[in-house]
Structure 1
Amino acid sequence: MTLSETEDTVPGRLRIDKWLWFARFFKTRSLAAKLCNDGGVRLSGAVVTKAHAAVRPGDVLTFAQGRHIRVVKVLALGSRRGPAPEAQALYEDLAPPVPEERLEDPYRPPGAGRPTKRDRRAIDALHGEGE
């Protein structure tokens, strides 16, 4: 590679921040670059600390996206940020995110919290009040 060539002009390689943006994992390229510069991306097991790191087809990327850890295999590099079906053809999801579980239990155990109006009426009926 000569000094005049950049990572973008070498065939078969693409900057990791551009690829993450092309594949629609991040809304902006600067968000992808920030994650790379902060060391939040692993490229085939090695921590990436520069956004200009080269990615090739066959590489495995591991990174956090929201509350999930994404593990994707690069299938193609792409040439633009296209529509979602085009972006999904760039990678294979090796560990799809699991659906979020509800934080709250729909069943309220007895004695937990304030009684509902129905509970209050049942209590009143037991005590013989409200007749």
Structure 2
Amino acid sequence: MTVEGRQRVDKWLFFARVVKSRTLAAKLAQGGKVRVNRNKIDQASYQIKVGDVLTITLERRILIYRILETGERRGPAPEARLLYEDLSPPEEPRAIVAVGPVRDPGSGRPTKRDRRALNALDDQN
């Protein structure tokens, strides 16, 4: 039973490429990770329409999408982007973390070239 202009939220999440499979979309909706117009939903069969605002809580980010169109299929990414308007706040830039200690060039352990030069000096004496 489908109402004209409406679509199941799990199908729309799958068509819009928010998740990789419809099963994952259903689990996302049933787990309370999706809000429609600020109302938490717990059913994958919840009917959404054009103009609704979805707030989707993923593992490391929050997506806010305004639905512009209901999908008919899971197409390529450019086609999927036509289904929604992204209202999400921009991501904060990540700080660059050095893996190991940072040294100035020329300080610390000698390189192979430096060792050869030292050995050459020792051989001259």
TM tier relative to shorter chain: 0.7 to 0.9
Query: Aligned ranges for residues 90-129 of structure 1 at < 5 Å?
Result: 90-95=83-88, 97-98=90-91, 101-102=94-95, 104-105=97-98, 108=101, 118-121=107-110
Mark the CA change 1:99 to 1:38 in structure 2 (over 3 Å): closer, same or farther.
Answer: same
Whichever of the two has the greater Rg, that structure is 2
Structure (1/2) with the larger helix percentage: 2
The question of whether the paired residues in 2 share the 8 Å contact of 1:68 and 1:97 is answered with no
| Pairing 1:80–2:69 present | no
Alpha-carbon offset, residue 102 of structure 1: 4.1
Q: Deviations over 1:50-82 (max 9, x none)?
A: 000011000000112341110010000011111
Q: Which runs of 4+ in 1 moved over 6 A?
A: none
Alpha-carbon offset, residue 99 of structure 1: 5.8
Mark the CA change 1:103 to 1:41 in structure 2 (over 3 Å): closer, same or farther.
Answer: farther
The question of whether the paired residues in 1 share the 8 Å contact of 2:14 and 2:25 is answered with yes
Alpha-carbon offset, residue 108 of structure 1: 4.6
Alpha-carbon offset, residue 23 of structure 1: 0.4
Look up the match of 2:43.
Answer: 50
The question of whether the paired residues in 2 share the 8 Å contact of 1:60 and 1:72 is answered with yes
Q: How many residues align?
A: 114
TM-score norm. by structure 2 comes to: 0.76
Alpha-carbon offset, residue 43 of structure 1: 0.5
Secondary structure at the residue paired with 1:26? coil
Structure 1: segments with no counterpart, 5+ residues: 1-5, 111-115, 122-129
Letter in 2 for 1:86: E
Alpha-carbon offset, residue 93 of structure 1: 0.3
| Pairing 1:61–2:50 present | no
Q: Percent identity?
A: 43
TM-score norm. by structure 1 comes to: 0.73
| Pairing 1:27–2:20 present | yes
